[in-house]
Amino acid sequence: MLGDSLSAAYGMNMEQGWVHLLSQKLKARAPESSVVNASISGDTTGGGARRLPALLKEHEPTLVIIELGGNDGLRAYPIKQMRTHLTEMTRASQNANAKVLLLAAEAPPNLGRRYTTMFRDSYAQVAQQDDAAVLPFIVEHVFLSEQLMQRDGTHPNAEAQPLLLNVVWPTLVTLLGDSLNE
């Protein structure tokens, strides 16, 4: 798992985060499995692209989930740069014989419709060009619910974490095979 604050359990204990919940659920179905959470709050696609080669070599994953880009959008980084980093991470993971699941992010609406549309479309474009799986912004269904968000209005709280896992789980089961199916 290569992500930012959404996957690094920002503002709560790591054990409350959706990635830890994923690890528990995966282990219950495949006891030999493990999840490495290499998420860092504030990370960008550029940071992930720099860190990923060493992580691939050290952990030799079967699947790499990339949940990065939100901080690129908050900083209004160039779309082409973000897309290049997403492509680099996807290809590096695939070259290491790992499947890839991209978890899309959203750019803030104040950056304009053109930027936000290009930003959103980047994930599907990278997934299509490199035969990776992609999911829309996993926070989308909890973002507008005040009781599921932390005080900052940006990060989901502990109550929302199982809902984030529920968004990812069906695609993860498909990517990892029927042995994980409930």
Instruction: Cite the active site residues.
Output: 5, 152, 155
Q: Whole-model pTM? A: 0.95
Amino acid identity of 87?
A: T
Asked if the structure places residue 27 within a domain, the reply is yes
Asked if the structure places residue 113 within a domain, the reply is yes
Domain that holds residue 148: 2-175
At residue 179, the pLDDT reads 52
Asked if the structure places residue 128 within a domain, the reply is yes
Asked if the structure places residue 182 within a domain, the reply is no
Asked if the structure places residue 125 within a domain, the reply is yes
pLDDT in tens, 135-146: 999 999 898 899
- CA gap 109, 117 in Å, rounded: 10
**Would you say residue 102 has pLDDT above 60?**
yes
Asked if the structure places residue 136 within a domain, the reply is yes
> Residue range 32-54: average pLDDT?
97
Asked if the structure places residue 181 within a domain, the reply is no
- CA gap 142, 21 in Å, rounded: 17
Number of domains in the chain: 1
Check which CATH number belongs to the domain holding 160 and give it. Answer: 3.40.50.1110
Asked if the structure places residue 140 within a domain, the reply is yes
- Residue 47, C-beta contacts closer than 8 angstroms, at least 6 positions apart: 40, 68
